[in-house]
Structure 1
C-alpha cells in the first residue's frame, strides 16, 4: 500500500491530469495533494478528483513534503510534482517496485533530457568533492522519489531548492539502500536566470551544510571557492495581495462556516475534553483561555489538526456562494478565534482570499503549545501604556479596511453574534446567520435564518449604494492639471514600452535559459 504525495503551487491547469494518471496504477494507493497556498484554482481542481487535499502551514516545498508525510497512512511514500504531464502511466510501479520487492529503501528517479545547468555546475561538482559515493547519480536534483516511511521520518526536509539533494544525502548517511529508476522522457517548464541563481545558492548551501562536520583538505576548499559560476541571486518571491479592492465579505469561520465547534471536536479527537472544559470553566479572560487551549494541542502535527477540520461539515452551499461573490467582484475571507493554519486550509478549500486568525506555533509542522495573538485582535489599555492588551475583535474591521484600502461601508460581515455583536454593528452590512441570539434584529442589518447561505447573494446585490465609491468634486483648474498629468504619464509609458522592447531584443540574442 502506497501513499502518493503531490506538493502543488498554482498548478490548477495540470493537477487533475497528474492525479488521473496516478490513479491508473494497479497498486492500492491513497493520494494526498498538499497545497502550498496557491492563488489559482489548484485546490478546487484537485478536490474534483476526490483526493485528500491539505493546506501547508507555510510556503515552501520542503514543508509541503513533510506535512504530506505526516498525513500519509501507508508504509511507502511516493512524491511527484503536480505540473508535469509526461509521466509514464506506470510511474507508480517504476518508483515503488524496488521498495516493494525489498531491493531498495529509497528510489530516486532520472529521466531523458540533458542534465540542467545547476546539476552540472553546482550539484555534481560539490557531490564529487564532499560525497563522492553520490556523484554517480544522474539527476540528484530530481523530485520524483519514493521511500520507506521509516526512513523519511528521520530526514530533514529543507524548505527551498535544496530539499531534493538534501534528502539524497540524508538517506545516504542513514545507510538506506538507494537505487535510481528511469521514468522515461520528462518535459517541464524552463527556469528563469533568477530562479537558476536562487537554485544554485540553495543547493550549494544544503550540500555544504550536510558536510559541515567533515574535515576538508585545503585543495578541496579552494575548489569549493570556484564553484559559484552562476550570477548573484535576484530576489524571487510570490506576493499574495488583494490590494485596492472595493467590495469585501468577511465570514466568521466559527459562526457562519463550520457547522460544529472545531475546538470541541479536536479535544475529543485528542482525548483532552476534560481539560478543555476545565479551562472554559476556570478562566474568563479570552487571552488566557486561548493560551491554555493552545497548550492542549502540543505535539499534535498539522496533518492531525487538519484532519479534524476536514471532518466538520461546512454550510452546504457556501462554496458556490463564495464563487458567485467573487465573480461579482467581492473579496472573500475568514476571521476566527481559532488557529491560522486551520483557517487557511478552509480558506483554500472554499476558494477564499484571506484569513485573520491567531497563530498556533509550529516547529517542523508540530504544534509547540504556544500561540501568538496578532495586533488586530488586541485593544490597547485605556491608560495608553504598553501593559497588558485586551482581546477584542472589534478592531479587525478598521484594520482590514486600512490594509486593503476598502471603505468600511463596503464590508459585509457574516456571523451569528454569539461571540458578540460588535462586528455586526461596525460592518457596512452586518448579516446574522443561523442564530438564536436574542434581539439580534436590533443589531444586524440583515438576517439569514440558515442553514443555507444563498440569501447572501440577494443582500449583496440589493445594496448598490453602499458599494459605490464616493469621489470628491473637482474644480476646472484640477481638471486641467489632471489633463497635463495624463499626458506626462502617457509619455512615460511610451518610454517604458520602448525600453522593454530593447531589453527583449537583447535577451533574444542570448542563449535560452537551460532546464535545471
Structure 2
C-alpha cells in the first residue's frame, strides 16, 4: 500500500517536458502570466535571466510581462535589467506609504502591487544558465488544472567541487527535517525552499509574506492550511546553476527558516530572531558576532487599502 506522501508525489509531480509549448498555448487562453525576478546586487546575471524570459515572451506569447523587483541594489542591477527588457521597480517606490524593509519577502510581496498576471512566476536573478523550462514547466499545471494554486520547482543543484547534486544544503539539513516533523503532509515536496515557483494571484494575495529567507517555506505551509495539499504541485525542472553562499550565510538562512516553521507549528511569537556566529578577530582569536534579523511579516495583500480597487481596475 502506498504511503500518503507517495500518493501525493505520484499525482502532483510532473516534468518540464510534460508541458510542451503547443499545449501551454492552448491552455493559456486569456490568462495573464507575469514573471517576477527579485534582485539584490545581481548585475552579472540578471540580464541573462531577463533575456531568456523576454525571448520566451516574444516567441510564444506565454508571458505577458517581465518585472524585476530591486531590493536595494548598490550595483548596476537595475540598468542591466532594463537594458535586457524588464520593467524595474525599486522596493522603496512601491507602496511607499507602507515603508520598506530589507529581504526577499518584501519585494515578492510588493510585486503583487505592480504586476497584472492572473499567474505570477517567481525566478531568482542569480541563475548562471537560465533555461525556458524554468517558466514553462511552472505554468503548466496552473494553466491545465484550475484546482492547482501553487507550483514548486525542483531540480539538481550542482555544487562546485562537491560532486553530484550537493546544493540545497539548508533544504536537506533544516527545511525538510522540520517539515517532516511538523507538517508531514509536505514531506513529498522535493525543494520546499526553491526560488523558482508560481502561484495564482488569488492565492498569493491571500497569504502573508514572511520577511527574509523564510518566505518560501512559509508560503508552502500557509497554502497547505488555506487551500489543502491538493492545491500544491511540483515540476522537475532539470538542472539549476547559480551562485552559492558560504556556511555562515547558510547558518543565518537556517535560523530564519527554523523561526518561521516554529512560528507556524508551535505558535512561537516575535518578529525577530538572532543567531550568534564566530569569526577570527584581528589577533587571531575567535570573537562572537550576533546577527539580529527582522522577520516581521507583511499581511495578505488583499487586505491592503486600495489594492482590491487597483486589481479590479486593471482587470
- TM-score, length of structure 2 as denominator length: 0.67
In structure 2, C-alpha distance between the alignment counterparts of 1:108 and 1:234, rounded to whole Å: 35
SS in 1 for 2:112: helix
Q: Quote the offset at 1:206 in angstroms.
A: 0.4
- Which of residues 26, 34, 49 is equivalent to 2:69? 34
In structure 2, C-alpha distance between the alignment counterparts of 1:51 and 1:71, rounded to whole Å: 13
- Which of residues 42, 47, 53 is equivalent to 1:11? 42
Q: Quote the offset at 1:34 in angstroms.
A: 0.4
> Do the aligned partners of 2:193 and 2:216 also contact (CA within 8 Å) in 1?
yes
Q: Which stretches in structure 1 are left out of the alignment for 5+ residues?
A: 215-229, 238-297, 305-516
- Which of residues 66, 77, 82 is equivalent to 2:109? 66
Q: Which position in structure 2 is the counterpart of 1:299? A: 305
SS in 2 for 1:108: strand
> Do the aligned partners of 2:50 and 2:85 also contact (CA within 8 Å) in 1?
no
- Which of residues 220, 237, 260 is equivalent to 1:206? 260
Determine whether 1:117 maps to 2:169.
yes
Relative contact order (alpha carbons < 8 A, sep ≥ 6): 1 or 2 greater? 2
> Do the aligned partners of 1:115 and 1:139 also contact (CA within 8 Å) in 2?
no
* 1:76-475 correspondence to structure 2 within 5 Å: 76-102=119-145, 104-112=148-156, 113-114=165-166, 116-176=168-228, 177-213=231-267, 234-235=289-290, 299-300=305-306
Q: Quote the offset at 1:169 in angstroms.
A: 0.7
In structure 1, C-alpha distance between the alignment counterparts of 2:201 and 2:128, rounded to whole Å: 26
SS in 2 for 1:71: coil
> Do the aligned partners of 2:170 and 2:250 also contact (CA within 8 Å) in 1?
yes
- Which of residues 90, 93, 99 is equivalent to 1:55? 90
Q: Which stretches in structure 2 are left out of the alignment for 5+ residues?
A: 1-31, 93-99, 157-164, 269-275, 279-287, 293-303, 311-315
Q: CA RMSD in A?
A: 2.3
Number of aligned residue pairs: 227
- 1:86–1:147: structure 2 CA closer, same or farther, 3 Å change rule? same
Detail structure 1 runs of 4+ shifted over 4 Å in the superposition. 230-237
SS in 2 for 1:180: strand
| Structure showing greater Rg | 1
In structure 2, C-alpha distance between the alignment counterparts of 1:45 and 1:77, rounded to whole Å: 22
In structure 1, C-alpha distance between the alignment counterparts of 2:246 and 2:290, rounded to whole Å: 12
Q: Which position in structure 2 is the counterpart of 1:43? A: 78
- 1:122–1:28: structure 2 CA closer, same or farther, 3 Å change rule? closer
> Do the aligned partners of 2:155 and 2:239 also contact (CA within 8 Å) in 1?
yes
Q: Quote the offset at 1:87 in angstroms.
A: 2.7
In structure 2, C-alpha distance between the alignment counterparts of 1:139 and 1:234, rounded to whole Å: 30
Q: Quote the offset at 1:117 in angstroms.
A: 2.4
Q: Quote the offset at 1:120 in angstroms.
A: 1.8
- 1:90–1:193: structure 2 CA closer, same or farther, 3 Å change rule? closer
- TM-score, length of structure 1 as denominator length: 0.42
SS in 1 for 2:84: coil
In structure 2, C-alpha distance between the alignment counterparts of 1:111 and 1:48, rounded to whole Å: 29
> Do the aligned partners of 1:80 and 1:144 also contact (CA within 8 Å) in 2?
yes
Q: Quote the offset at 1:83 in angstroms.
A: 0.9
Q: Quote the offset at 1:28 in angstroms.
A: 3.5
